[in-house]
Amino acid sequence: MVTLRGKTVAFLAAPEGVEQVELTAPWQAVQEAGGTPRLVSTRTGRIQAFNHLDRGDTFKVDAVVADTSAADYDALVLPGGVANPDALRTDADAVAFTRSFFDTGKPVAAICHAPWTLIEAGVVHGRNLTAWPSLRTDLINAGAHWADEQVRVCTDGPNVLVTSRKPDDLPAFNDTLVTVFAAA
């Protein structure tokens, strides 16, 4: 059995809105594997989740991105939805936080529109990944090798990048990120 016991995983989400299932399903997978998920955001308080375009639940922030670092975590999950990565990619602290996982060789998992944050962090060039189909051109223009696949695992650098397309892919995404995070 794969275990994340003793590992702390950062989930980076903006207060403006995250796709709820892309936050909660990987969160639950980390917990079920014995890991500790922590919600990191751009400010204190709560973040708003959405079920596509409808308001969902709110979630309490555990840490503010400006006050924490990759050294505090073993891995990073970037949930999608359109609003989350769009807000994160305009926040210098969120971009630097994301990039620091690559700089320190720690694994990262991103789903749906989340690779927009990876593009802004300058970490997709030469990497194999997937995302929501509308990001295809953005990723290719940033130098990534995009494919329309359920899950892509990229080991082109010192860390491992797990990417996935959409909520329907969550079972495979969750299984893969738990396996990758456990091996790190």
Question: Which pTM was predicted?
Answer: 0.97
Question: Residue 107 falls within a domain, yes or no?
Answer: yes
Question: Residue 68 falls within a domain, yes or no?
Answer: yes
Question: Residue 1 falls within a domain, yes or no?
Answer: no
DSSP letter (8 states) at residue 82: S
Question: Residue 133 falls within a domain, yes or no?
Answer: yes
Looking at the structure of the chain, the number of domains it has is 1
Question: Residue 83 falls within a domain, yes or no?
Answer: yes
User: Whole-angstrom Cα distance, residue 158 to residue 33?
Assistant: 24
Tell me: the pLDDT tens digits for 61-97? 999 999 999 999 999 999 999 999 999 999 999 999 9
Question: Residue 2 falls within a domain, yes or no?
Answer: no
Tell me: the pLDDT tens digits for 167-177? 999 999 999 99
Identify any residues that bridge with 152 across adjacent strands, giving them in sequence order.
163
Instruction: Give the catalytic positions in this structure.
Output: 112-113
Tell me: the pLDDT tens digits for 6-53? 999 999 999 999 999 999 999 999 999 999 999 999 999 999 999 999
Strands 151-154 and 161-164: antiparallel
Domain that holds residue 147: 8-183
Q: CA dist 1 to 44, 75, 88, Å?
A: 36, 19, 34
- For the CA atoms of 167, 116, 155, 73, the dihedral, rounded to the nearest 10 degrees, stands at -80
Question: Residue 134 falls within a domain, yes or no?
Answer: yes
CATH of the domain at 38: 3.40.50.880
**Three-state DSSP class for 123?**
coil
User: Whole-angstrom Cα distance, residue 181 to residue 62?
Assistant: 20
